[in-house]
Amino acid sequence: MSKPVIATATLAGCFGCHMSILDIDEKILDLIELVEFNKSPIDDIKNFTKKCDIGLIEGGCCNSENVHVLKDFRKNCNTLISLGECAIMGGLPACRNPIPIKECLEEAYLNGPSVKGHNESGIIPNDDEIPMMLDKVYPCHEIVKIDYFLPGCPPSAELIWNALTALITGNEMELPYEVIKFD
């Protein structure tokens, strides 16, 4: 039997969830025995080269590029998992959500204390090359269907390990009290 294939991505996240994947310590050796990685920042494969079994998504969607990547993952992964608070509920990037996008951009480029007086032409970057910011940061499951959610900031290595092994072996997932945390 061929090994299950895993892909991972960071959208509007801080890479902390990916750090937590690596935080399974020496079990990472077991993991590479058990699975094969495809598109992921871990192995730097940029494009899907085959259909994957499991996709792990860190971060919510704050711009058009995030939406594009997320939809690509949905298309190429049988099981898609929201990994961490940002993917699940927007996380810290979503702190901007109650504020209108226009106000956010003006604060960042025109009025904020570190830019005021330094942006004389009053330009807010708006090049076609730059992904378009969304009106707010969206949790992944508000953009595509997500199959499982692993909370935490970051999710503990144990939670990630338990989830992956349960998915791979088809056994029920172990969920001891201490592994579900939102912080």
Judged by CB under 8 A, the stretch of 2-10, 67-75, 96-104, 112-120 that binds another protein is 96-104
Give the binding-site size for another protein (rule: CB under 8 A).
Answer: 29
107 vs 66: CA distance, rounded Å: 23
Judged by CB under 8 A, the stretch of 45-53, 109-117, 123-131, 139-147 that binds another protein is 139-147
- Binding of another protein by 97 (CB under 8 A): yes
CB of 18 to another protein, least distance (A): 16
Residues 6+ apart with CB under 8 A from 10: 17, 18, 41, 58, 59
Judged by CB under 8 A, the stretch of 33-41, 63-71, 83-91, 120-128 that binds another protein is 83-91
Q: Which of 83, 94, 157, 167 binds another protein (CB under 8 A)?
A: 94
Nearer to another protein, 59 or 91 (CB): 91
Nearer to another protein, 5 or 86 (CB): 86
Q: Which of 18, 136, 157, 167 binds another protein (CB under 8 A)?
A: 136
Which residues contact another protein (rule: CB under 8 A)? 82, 85, 88-92, 94-95, 97-99, 136, 139, 141-142, 146, 148-151, 153, 175, 177-178, 180-183
